[in-house]
Amino acid sequence: MNSIRAFAPATVANVACGFDIFGFAIEAPGDVVEIRRRDEPGVVIKEITGDEGRLPRNAEKNAVTVVMLHLLKHLGIKDFGAEVVLHKNMPLGSGMGSSAASAVAGVVAMNELLGNPLSRQELLPFAMEGEKIASGSAHADNVGPSLLGGFVVIRSYNPLDIFTIPVPDDLYCTLVHPDIEINTKDARFILRSEVSLKNTIAQMGNVAGLVAGLMKSDYELIGRSMVDVIIEPVRSILIPEFNVVKLAAIENGALGCSISGSGPSMFALSKGKANAESAGLAMQQKFADAGIESSMHVSAINKNGAAIL
């Protein structure tokens, strides 16, 4: 096989109360990566579309190729020649797991080109290296769900312990991306490093409630548990109209609403597609009232994650 195309979906990380430990993928959008073997050694970026020339063309600096270089090194493969084309189908610094989608598509495509020496689970640490390059932190709550699909829980980072839990069939996500940019690195920098006991107790209750609500298909419990008392109060100040948009989502059918990843995108979860759509239109309207353009994606939870095309 000389050429491979892979797709990796956008993701919603944190899911309100689960900073760095919860995430799920949506159906679309997603990045597409093409790799072609070439005779000369070295992995090079041949072309990137959709980034307005903003992403690094240096293979050691772009999440899509960094993961390939780590994989090749791990497998002891030297002098491998490949050229890479990246189709960037989501904005940078979006809170939609943009860097993660590139990293996952890159590592899945390279693994396929090499004849699948590693399983999907085994690819995770390599995909996390892409996040390290992009945001300075090897968090797995975007790359995990983009790679594996489903609703992902990261129980531990050291050692890495990650699994998926079932979600109700009629659970829909609304993702609204206001036309502003927030870098994950900056949004991590502003977080406080200490948390009060009171907030820890509240957050633990919500984490347990969200997992139980998803597994029991208890929509009311899901909604009640979508509360983040630690991260959202700090980061929401970076998103204009955050409180107004969140209220609009809940008043128009959503079970709950919070920041997607590190923002500026906001997500809501709803029972049924119709509720997800009406919540999303209301969210967009509030951004529009403040003169902010936005785009909306409504999707069921993507159960499959990345795919070879």
Ligand X SMILES: N[C@@H](CCOP(=O)(O)O)C(=O)O
Ligand Y SMILES: Nc1ncnc2c1ncn2[C@@H]1O[C@H](COP(=O)(O)OP(=O)(O)O)[C@@H](O)[C@H]1O
**Binding-site annotation, residues:** 91-101
Among the listed ranges 53-61, 89-97, 145-153, 197-205, the one in contact with ligand X (CB under 6 A) is 89-97
| Shortest distance (Å) from residue 256 CB to ligand X | 17
What does the per-residue mask of binding to ligand X show for 211-250, with x meaning CB under 6 A? ----------------------------------------
Indicate the residue among 14 and 294 with the shorter CB distance to ligand X. 14
- The CA radius of gyration of the chain, in Å to the nearest whole number, is 19
Non-local CB neighbours of 15 within 8 Å, separated by 6+ positions: 22, 23, 24, 151, 210, 226, 258, 267
Active site residue 181: no
Among 14, 89, 111, 135, binds ligand Y (CB under 6 A): 135
- 92 contacts ligand Y (rule: CB under 6 A): yes
* Side-chain half-sphere CA neighbours of 180 within 13 A: 17
- 34 strand-pairing partners: 5, 85
Take residue 53 and report the two structure tokens written for it. 């020339």
Cα 55 to Cα 99, 102, 154, distances in angstroms:
10, 11, 29
- 111 contacts ligand Y (rule: CB under 6 A): no
Contact 272, 255 (CB under 8 A): no
Among 62, 65, 102, 142, binds ligand X (CB under 6 A): 142
Distance CA 130, CA 82 (A): 18
- 261 contacts ligand Y (rule: CB under 6 A): yes
Among the listed ranges 69-77, 133-141, 203-211, 294-302, the one in contact with ligand Y (CB under 6 A) is 133-141
- 174 contacts ligand X (rule: CB under 6 A): no
Q: Is the dihedral of CA 181, 226, 12, 290 positive or negative?
A: negative
Q: Is the dihedral of CA 226, 221, 139, 157 positive or negative?
A: positive
Among 29, 95, 178, 253, binds ligand X (CB under 6 A): 95
Active site residue 131: yes
Distance CA 16, CA 288 (A): 24
- 139 contacts ligand X (rule: CB under 6 A): yes
Amino acid at 233: P
What does the per-residue mask of binding to ligand Y show for 4-43, with x meaning CB under 6 A? ----------------------------------------
- Within 183-222, the residues that bind ligand Y by CB under 6 A are 183-184
- 132 contacts ligand X (rule: CB under 6 A): no
Q: What's the length of the chain?
A: 309
Contact 100, 108 (CB under 8 A): no
Active site residues: 131, 184
Q: Which residues bind ligand X (CB under 6 A)?
A: 13-14, 19-20, 95-97, 139, 141-142, 184, 187-188, 261-262
